[in-house]
Structures are given as C-alpha cells and as structure tokens.
C-alpha cells in the first residue's frame, strides 16, 4: 500500500540552500524513494516572486513522489500540519553589520516562527535549524515553543561532520564511505571541535583507527581541525557565496538518519539539547555524537575524552553560553 505523504516545511526556500534542497526532498533523498512528500515552502514577501518560480520548477520537474506544493509568505499557512520543518530562512550578515545585529534579526525571526510551529505543526513535528547562528536559533525556537518536546528540536552540524569525513578520506586516499565515527562537538562556528579520536576506516584488514592510519598527530591536532572549522569561510572565498549544495545534502542526511535510523555501529553528529552529558552545560543546543533509532536520537555515552579534547569541548560550550546570553539580551 502506498504510504501517506509526509509534509516537509522548508523556510527560506527561495534562497540558495532552499533551491538545492527542495529537489532533493522531492526525489526521496531525505525520506526515502518510497515516501511521498508534500513540500511547504516559506519565504518573505520580497522573495515571493522567486519563491513562485521555484514552485513552477518543481511542477516542471514532474517528481513522482511530490504530491503537492504550498508556497507562501504566511508562516501559519506554511507551518500547518507539517511533520518535518527545515528552518533555512534567515537574515544574512550584510556589510557594516555587527554580530549582534545579525543575532538580533535572527533570534526575533526564530521566536516568531517558534509560535507558528508550536500552534500549527503536526504533533511530534521534527525540527532542524540550518540558519545561522544555527545552535542559538534552535535554542530560541525551543524556548519559545515550550510544548514541542526538546528532543524534537535540533540544529545542523552534519555538514561539519561530512566535511571531516571528506578531509580524512582525502588524506588517506580512501573512499569517504569507508570512514566513520568522527565527531563534531559544540557550536556550528569556528569554535567547533572536529574529533577523530574514535573514528575508524574500513580497510581490507578490518576496521582501523584513523589515528593509526594517518600517523600524523600534528596534522590531526592542527591543520585538520582548522580546515574543518574554516571550511565554510573557504567556500565563501572560492564561490563568493556560502555552501549550498553540501548544506542541502547534509540536511537530508540529518533528517534521514534521524527518521530512518543510523546504521549499526555508526554514529553521526547532531546539534541537540544538552542534558549535561560529557559535562557540557545542560540547556545549550550543542553538537554531540548520536545514534538514532525509531525516530529518536540518543547521545553516545562513555567515549574517553583526553585533556586536549576536554579543553576544546569547554571552549565551544563557553561560546554557546555567551551566544545564549547575547540572544536573550537581543530579545529583552
Ligand atoms: N548549519 C550549516 O551547516 C549551514 C548554515 N548556513 C546558513 O543557512 C542560512 C541560509 O543560507 P542561504 O540559503 O545561503 O541564504 P540565502 O540568503 O540565499 O537564503 C535565505 C532565504 O531566507 C529568506 N528569509 C529571510 N527571512 C526570512 C523569514 N523571516 N522567514 C522565511 N524566510 C526568510 C530570504 O528571503 C532568503 O530567500 C544562512 O543563515 C546561512 O548562514 C549555510 C550553510 C551551512
Ligand atoms: O560559514 C557560513 O557563513 C556558512 C556556514 O555556516 C557554513 O558553510 O558552514
């Protein structure tokens, strides 16, 4: 029997990431090639015409899984009945703007959209925040949508996770699909800590630790970390635009693994509401290693954290605590 369609909201759908993301969703990359979808696309009035153009292209592409498209500038219409919400919409930093100005614009957007989701989304709607500052926007969304379970509100650090897999695969000249269990800890910002201490590579001789194969701790503790931390900026420098296809693809990975489960023996990185695991302060949206099963994520427990890692986990937590305070000061 054919499955019932799932309603997927993409905010900021007329933007760069939106344009890459909606065809992936309509092709089954996010929820599976047997899962029909109805796309809800939200953008702001100045982008309404462009948004309508995206809708026209979705019709023209004749995706068999796509059972409907809602394209709107009304947050309530956009959020009504959605099962999954991918929050890409936001205010980008413009010339002359301070960090606080961007934060202020975005946290008020996320406060308002929290209410629309809380009141109109389907029960148990899963939320992924992509727009920057992703962790803090997700936290504000959570705080202003108290009836949505905290477990349902996450932010995207899967792009950073995938960037780390990519760097290791290039360094070792192995298939990226043979590398697993890197971890992104903390903020989706340059303070994040990409950790390979538990990562492995599938080789002809079985699974081997990344550190043993790379045999270059100076690279792993130095250039590797900064390359992943700075990759977003490097893409902007090269493209004059920020990452879009990789962000869209990673957003699909995030939701797919969350909904359909992570493979046995594999974890992924997700920004989730901290419960104090690994002595990360509770009450932040912080990226942890997680496994997913039956639509729920669980933080991987019991990993050893050495002194080098401890400092890095704490540093990115501090930045998130400061962002949280700044966000609240913008709202008051
Ligand atoms: N977490 C991650 O890994 C990544 C996050 N990002 C972030 O994703 C966001 C989107 O990036 P792009 O698509 O490149 O930006 P973009 O500027 O091309 O698109 C953003 C869209 O959001 C819309 N928008 C603005 N305010 C809105 C509101 N209140 N409601 C709905 N839509 C609204 C804009 O009109 C625009 O169409 C940015 O904040 C960017 O920094 C980008 C790459 C990776
Ligand atoms: O750096 C940016 O502005 C975009 C971003 O979040 C990324 O590419 O990771």
Q: Give tens-digit pLDDT for 227-251.
A: 999 999 999 999 999 999 999 999 9
Per-residue confidence (pLDDT) for residue 133, from 0 to 100: 94
Does residue 95 surpass a pLDDT of 90? no
Average pLDDT over residues 150-174: 98
Does residue 318 surpass a pLDDT of 80? yes
102-158 confidence digits (pLDDT tens): 888 899 999 999 999 999 999 999 999 999 999 999 999 999 999 999 999 999 999
Question: Any residues with CB less than 8 A from the CB of 89 and at least 6 apart, and which?
Answer: 11, 12, 13, 15, 42, 43, 44, 109, 113, 131
| Residue whose CA is at the smallest distance from ligand 2 atom 6 | 232
| Residue whose CA is at the smallest distance from ligand 1 atom 19 | 15
Which residues are annotated as part of the binding site? 12-18, 43, 93, 99, 106, 130-132, 163
Alpha carbon of residue 192 to chain centroid: 14
CA of 232 to the centre of ligand 2 (A): 4
5-25 confidence digits (pLDDT tens): 999 999 999 999 999 999 999
* Structure tokens that stand for 267 in this block: 């974890």
Region of residue 290 (left: phi > 0; alpha: psi -120 to 50; beta: else): beta
ipTM metric: 0.99
Average pLDDT over residues 305-318: 98
CA of 17 to the centre of ligand 2 (A): 11
Tokens 């919400």, located at residue: 85
Does residue 279 surpass a pLDDT of 90? yes
Does residue 269 surpass a pLDDT of 80? yes
Does residue 97 surpass a pLDDT of 90? no
Pocket lining: 277 vs ligand 2, CB cutoff 6 Å? no
The pTM (predicted TM-score) of the whole model is 0.98
Domains detected in the chain? 6-155 (3.40.50.720), 157-328 (3.90.110.10)
**Continuous segment of H or E residues that includes residue 141:** helix 134-143
| Residue whose CA is at the smallest distance from ligand 2 atom 8 | 232
* Structure tokens that stand for 63 in this block: 């995706």
Pocket lining: 309 vs ligand 2, CB cutoff 6 Å? no
188-242 confidence digits (pLDDT tens): 999 999 999 999 999 999 999 999 999 999 999 999 999 999 999 999 999 999 9
* Structure tokens that stand for 164 in this block: 């780390």
Tokens 């099962």, located at residue: 83
Q: Is 188 a catalytic residue?
A: yes
Catalytic-labelled residue, pool 120, 188, 198, 254: 188
């Amino acid at each position: 029997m054919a499955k019932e369609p799932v309603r997927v909201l993409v905010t900021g759908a007329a933007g760069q990431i939106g344009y890459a993301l909606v065809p992936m969703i309509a092709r089954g990359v996010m929820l599976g090639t047997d899962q029909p979808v109805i796309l809800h696309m939200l953008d702001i009035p100045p982008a309404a015409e462009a948004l309508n153009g995206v809708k026209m292209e979705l019709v023209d592409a004749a995706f068999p899984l796509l059972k409907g498209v809602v394209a709107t500038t009304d947050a309530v219409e956009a959020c009504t009945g959605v099962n999954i919400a991918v929050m890409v919409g936001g205010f980008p930093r413009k010339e002359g703007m301070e960090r606080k100005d961007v934060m202020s614009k975005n946290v008020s957007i996320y406060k308002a959209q929290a209410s629309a989701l809380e009141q109109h989304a389907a029960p148990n709607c899963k939320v992924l925040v992509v727009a920057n500052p992703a962790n803090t926007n997700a936290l504000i969304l959570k705080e202003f949508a108290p009836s949505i379970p905290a477990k349902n509100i996450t932010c995207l650090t899967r792009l950073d996770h995938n960037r780390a897999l990519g760097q290791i695969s290039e360094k070792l000249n192995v298939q990226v699909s043979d590398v697993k269990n890197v971890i992104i800890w903390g903020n989706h910002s340059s303070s994040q800590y990409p950790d390979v201490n538990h990562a492995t590579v599938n080789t002809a001789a079985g699974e081997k630790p990344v550190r043993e194969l790379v045999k270059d701790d100076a690279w792993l503790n130095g250039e590797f970390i900064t390359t992943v931390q700075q990759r977003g900026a490097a893409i902007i420098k090269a493209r004059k635009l920020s990452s879009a296809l990789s962000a869209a693809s990673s957003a699909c990975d995030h939701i797919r693994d969350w909904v359909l489960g992570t493979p046995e023996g594999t974890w992924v990185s997700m920004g989730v509401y901290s419960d104090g695991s690994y002595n990360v302060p509770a009450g932040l949206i912080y990226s942890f290693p997680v496994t997913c099963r039956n639509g729920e994520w669980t933080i991987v427990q019991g990993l050893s954290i050495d002194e080098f890692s401890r400092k890095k986990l704490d540093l990115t937590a501090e930045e998130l605590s400061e962002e949280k305070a700044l966000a609240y000061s913008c709202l008051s």
